[in-house]
Structure 1
C-alpha cells in the first residue's frame, strides 16, 4: 500500500515500534482494499462524513488569522510596487483555493512585465528584498533562495510564536503556478464535496509526514491531482476534465512557460459534460466518507 510504504520509508524507527493494534488495522485494510465487493456499513460512512465536515470547521482560519494573511499580502504588494514597474501581487496555492489552514505558509507571486527569465527574476527579488527590509520593521527575516528551480524569497517572522506571525515564499513571474491554482480553484467549485475531501487528505498526509516535496514525498499539488483523478474515475464521475473540455470546445490555447494552460470554466459546459459522463449511472450521490474510502482503496491497491 502506498501510504504504508511511505510510512516505512520516512519513519522506519516508528514503524518498528508500531503497536499490535496498528498491525491489526493494517491487515484489515489490506484485506479490505483487495476486495472489490467489500463495502463499509452505511452508518459508519455517515459517521465518517460527519467527522470530515467537523474537521473542515476545526481547521478553518479565524478572522484574526485571515486579517494577518491579508496584511502580509498588502506588505508584499507594496514592496513589489515600489521595486518593479507594473507589479501586482497574487496569492497562489492553498491560500488562493480556500484550502489554507492556520500555521501554513503563504505563496505569493509578483507579476511584473518582462520577468520571465531566471536572471531577471533574481534581480527583481533582490529589489523586493531591499524594499521589504524597509517595510518589515525588524519583524521578519529575509532568506534568499535563488538557486531553486523557481527563485524565491522566504520572508519569515523572527518570532513565529507571536499571534498572527506568518511566513511566506515570494516569487516573481511564476505564472504557471498561478494558472495551476486557478485551475484547481475551478475544480473545487464544481462540487462541494471536493474541498472537504482535499482538506481531509492534506491533514492526513501532513500528520504522517508525507506532504513535503522537499523531503521526497507528496506535494499538496500532487495530492490534489490524485484526488481529482479518483473523482473523475468514479462510475458516476464528480468531475470532468476541464482541460479536455476546453479542447473539445476549441477554446484558444494559453501557453505559459511552454505549457498549454487552457481549461474550461463555463458552468453550463461543465454541467453538460458531467451529465454526459454520468450517463445511466445518474448524479453521483456518494457521501464524503465513502469517497475518502475509495481514494485510499484506489491508491492502496497492490496487484
Structure 2
C-alpha cells in the first residue's frame, strides 16, 4: 500500500521492505507537512459554532429545549479541513413528531440560506444533510445520537494518549479518501471504521502504543446509553492525561507502514475481528465468538459500545 501524496520519490521510499532511519525521518517530515496543510483551522471552528447556533435557534422555535452537539470526526483530533460536520439534537422528541421536526428544520435551513438541503430517511437513519455556502462544509444533522457523542469522546481520549494516534488516523483517512474507498454506502468502510482499525492496530503492537481504555474503566462506574437495539455499556477510562507514556518508540512513518502490513499480511479477515474492546498486545479476536453472526468472507469491525453492530457487515475482500 502507498500513503497519501503524489510524490513519486515518496512512493519509491515507501516501497522498501525495510526503511532506513533516514528514510523514516524523511517520510515523517513530509507527512507532518501534509497534515499541517490539511488541518482543521480557526475558520472551521467559527463556521461550526455558527451552524450550531442556527440549529439551536431553529429547534428553540419549535419549543425543543435540548442541546445541539457535535460528534464524529469534527469532535476529535482526527478532523481535517475537509471533514464533514456531524450534529445531533439530544433532547426529547416524541416519535410522532420526528418527521415533522426534521421537515421544519429543513425548511428553516433553506430560509437561512443553507444549500443542498436534503433528507435521508431509511429504516435505520433519519437525518438532514445540507451545505454551508460560506465554507462549503457539508453537515449531517440527526436526532438522539447520544451513542455517537460517546463514541467520539472515547476516540478523542485515545488521541490524547499519544500524539501519533491522531497523525496515523488522519493519514489513513487521507489515503482512503484519495482512493475513494471511504463511504457509508457502496460496500465501503466509513471513516469511523477506519479509525477503529487504527486503534486496534496500535493496541496490538508489542509494546503497545495505546492501552485499552475500556478494560481500564472502573467496574463501579457504569455508563449506559440507548443504542439501536437496546442499552449499551459505554464506560471507558477518561482520565488519560496521567497515563504513562508508551514504551513503543516507532515513528509515524513506521506505524503507517506497519498498519498496511498488519491488515494486508498478518490480519486474517476470514477469522479475526477488529475489536478495540478486547484489544491488547499480540491479541487475536475470533470474529465467530462475538455477538453478531458472521461468515468467513465477511469482514468484522465491532462497534466498541453497540456490540451487535458490525461496521464492516457489508464488506469483504471483493
- Answer yes or no: same fold by TM over 0.5: yes
Provide TM-score, normalisation by structure 2. Answer: 0.72
The answer for the alignment partner of 2:265 in structure 1 is 301
2:76/2:152 contact within 8 Å kept: yes
Counterpart selection for 2:209 from 235, 238, 258: 238
When structure 1 is superposed on structure 2, of 96-105 and 185-194 the one drifting more is: 96-105
Matched, 1:129 2:101: no
The answer for the alignment partner of 2:309 in structure 1 is none
Q: Which blocks of at least 5 consecutive residues in structure 1 are unaligned?
A: 5-20, 33-37
1:182 Cα deviation after fit: 0.8
Higher helix share: 1
Matched, 1:209 2:180: yes
1:89 Cα deviation after fit: 0.9
The answer for the alignment partner of 2:67 in structure 1 is 88
Partner secondary structure for residue 213 of structure 1:
coil
Cα separation, 1, equivalents of 2:186 and 2:69: 27
1:81/1:88 contact within 8 Å kept: no
Matched, 1:265 2:238: yes
1:82/1:131 contact within 8 Å kept: no
Cα separation, 1, equivalents of 2:137 and 2:67: 20
Aligned length: 256
Per the alignment, do residues 238 and 250 of structure 1 end up closer, same or farther by CA in structure 2, a change over 3 Å counting? farther
Which has the higher Rg, Structure 1 or Structure 2? 1
Partner secondary structure for residue 215 of structure 1:
coil
Per the alignment, do residues 67 and 133 of structure 1 end up closer, same or farther by CA in structure 2, a change over 3 Å counting? same
1:83 Cα deviation after fit: 2.2
Matched, 1:147 2:119: no
1:83-122 equivalence runs, <5 A: 83-113=62-92, 120-122=97-99
1:85 Cα deviation after fit: 2.3
When structure 1 is superposed on structure 2, of 184-193 and 95-104 the one drifting more is: 95-104
Provide TM-score, normalisation by structure 1. Answer: 0.75
The answer for the alignment partner of 1:185 in structure 2 is 156
Matched, 1:176 2:176: no
Counterpart selection for 2:189 from 218, 231, 239: 218
The answer for the alignment partner of 2:21 in structure 1 is 42
Cα separation, 2, equivalents of 1:112 and 1:233: 38
The answer for the alignment partner of 1:250 in structure 2 is 220
1:108/1:169 contact within 8 Å kept: yes
The answer for the alignment partner of 2:313 in structure 1 is none
1:186 Cα deviation after fit: 0.8
Cα separation, 2, equivalents of 1:180 and 1:285: 27
Matched, 1:194 2:165: yes
- Asked which structure has the greater RCO (Cα within 8 Å, sep 6+), the reply is 1
Cα separation, 2, equivalents of 1:222 and 1:262: 20
Partner secondary structure for residue 221 of structure 2:
coil
Per the alignment, do residues 225 and 46 of structure 1 end up closer, same or farther by CA in structure 2, a change over 3 Å counting? same
Matched, 1:284 2:248: yes
Cα separation, 2, equivalents of 1:284 and 1:86: 47
1:83/1:128 contact within 8 Å kept: no
1:121 Cα deviation after fit: 3.4
